[in-house]
Structure 1
Amino acid sequence: MTTKELSRRSAVDVLGGEPDDATLRRFLHGLPGVDAVGLEQRAAGLGTRSIKTTSKAWALDTIIKLIDLTTLEGADTPGKVRSLVAKAKTPDAADPTTPRVAAVCVYGDMVGYAVDALGAVHGDPDDGLISVAAVATAFPSGRSSLAIKLADTAEAVAAGADEIDMVIDRGAFLSGRYGLVFDQIAAVKEACRREDGSYASLKVILETGELNTYDNIKRASWLGILAGGDFIKTSTGKVQPAATLPTTLLMLETVRDWHHGTGEKIGVKPAGAASAHRRTP
């Protein structure tokens, strides 16, 4: 059974029916509405907390180990990618105890250069190594045919990408074509399959700054998870507002609820600055 088929079967179990527009609409619009005031108060409360002394040092090291160090510019060159990789390997040349970042994130045509520059340190961040993430699916707009999105993804995976950052079709989502968005995410996940049968991780970018409401962000988060995303990600960094604390908290609460219901852990990645952090529940 393919990952796409497994995603559909899992979604059917949760939804109680096939993940078509009608079933997804009934489920997504049946979710409890977001209390915007309460969400923003909870987020503001997080900003009042402080971490001191050795705990602060531990927290800073942990943040560094969760960073995707990113360059996503039209002017990117192999040399710029090599410089990015050098920074990823040694974030602070003055302090050799500074840990490495989790990943470098580049356009698909730069993946090979990133892999080559990483050399022996290319691998799983859980082993102290550095992954390569690639944006795909007509990033940042997501406006292309499915065939192009799948080819974009497969090419990056074949070049050595460990993670794929896809963007959802926000136009389809906002017009209620939830089945189309689901099917595209599931198909991209299948395109993450490697020759050995393993899969690159899939991060589903919601572009929260274009979704207009917290309720839409919550629905899109659920949709990304139901369709098989390994991470849900706030934004491309090309649209403002990008990641905000209330939006990130809302997405974290969504993956918490998913975990409570299924036992499965899904990651959350706030994004939108020169370097972006990822979080898991």
Structure 2
Amino acid sequence: MRRARAGLGRRAIDTFLVPGPKIDVGKLAMAIAPLAAHIDISCLVFFTLGVKPEIISAVAGGSLGIHGMCPVYIADCYGIIGWDKKAKKNVEMMEKGRGSEYGLPGGQGGEGVVVVAFRGKEHAGGATHMVVKAHGKAELEAAADGVSYGGYAKACYKLEHSGDLVEVDDFVVSSSTVSSVVSFDGDDAGEVAAGATKELPSKAKAAGYFPCFCRGYNKYNADGVEPEAFARGGLDGVPLFGMFAHGELGPTKGVPVVVADEAPQAEHDVHSMTSVLALYS
């Protein structure tokens, strides 16, 4: 696995959605330009739906030069979830028709890029691991220690220091900040969020969210059901970042697993038709 360590800071995670339509190099560059002014970014991740990785690499590896500052990863996704600054809410969108191959209604389409900047000095003891793997490239496994969450994307890429865009099997971003991670497969997203929130010493600042693509619109016949339930469960105004996965990684379903001063000896499972939520305090 490839790893980048993300440390604590006043704004340990800065994340937002750049919604379509017609996201080109100019539009994306304007959206992420403010990030280039900060030298404390330890890792930058893009979750993309309908926007070619080459467009993203042209921005991050072009005039902004972020690829020379920190590791830059791109996940080509079946669907994405992110914070729309203009709408002031979390928005989810899924690839048109995705899920219909299993007899489900199918995603309603959309285009966008979720940008996630992990800030702060590197920490060797990070114990919360966001794991993203390319479907069919490698087994979905947890990191060696701590708590892992994530899932399978269509494909994964790394932007090299040379500026070359290289396809990789996986990437992992590890963080030292306090977190609460939970897996669930019911329709009680609000209660799950409330339970995970209670485990934190302060309100969550951001949250990773990896549901199966058989959930979302394919489960509820509507977009945004679980993000809206999370808001009612104590995460109002908390930005989500993540993707709809084809196989999800997270703790055993049920009680949230908390990562604080020491890495817990947590059990990890590869799930199906499950949502995984990771709150960062």
**Which category of TM-score, normalised to the shorter sequence, fits these structures?**
0.3 to 0.5
The structure richer in strand per residue is 2
1 or 2 for the larger relative contact order (CA 8 Å, sep ≥6)? 2
The structure richer in helix per residue is 1
- TM-score, normalised to structure 1's length? 0.36
- TM-score, normalised to structure 2's length? 0.36
Larger Rg: 1
